[in-house]
Structure 1
Amino acid sequence: MNAPVQIRKPEVAERLRSLARLEGKSITELVEEMVRERDERLTSSREADIAERRRGVEEAVRRFNALPIVGPLLTDDDLYDEDGLPK
């Protein structure tokens, strides 16, 4: 376990004490709740961003797959010589 967290700004420490008193919690309980809520919010936001990006990729793939095939499909023999080098 790491060393305890130390709040060096007196105004921040006082605000924590005040909030803890108002909510009837210890400073540790208050900070734990605040950290958990912030973590959940950020995690939810990241997951939403990932889902949105995934939808964008899936839409791009869908549009690509809907394009007509023009001409014959190329094979490795069309692209590379007998030594495996590009033609």
Structure 2
Amino acid sequence: MELADAVAVMAEHGFTAEQRALGPWHSTGRAERRVEFRQPSPSPRRTRPAVKCSFIEGAGPTCVLVDGLRGPRSPMRASA
């Protein structure tokens, strides 16, 4: 999954993305980006991110941290 795909999927679920460049990664020179996803909050205070990701250009996500209380959830399904 590429960065743009992750941003689009999270936006579909109501999350906003904040991106920043971290510069070249290791000796490959590929760009590394950090993305934090948050749900909009009526509070003027900035909330902690629901998901933090690191992406390496051409390699996809290298690290994904999901906050268990704020992160995305899938609905529970009753077993048959």
Length-normalised TM-score, structure 2: 0.22
Write 1 or 2 for the structure with the bigger share of helix.
1
In terms of Rg, which structure is larger?
A: 1
Q: Larger relative CO (CA 8 A, sep 6+): 1 or 2? A: 2
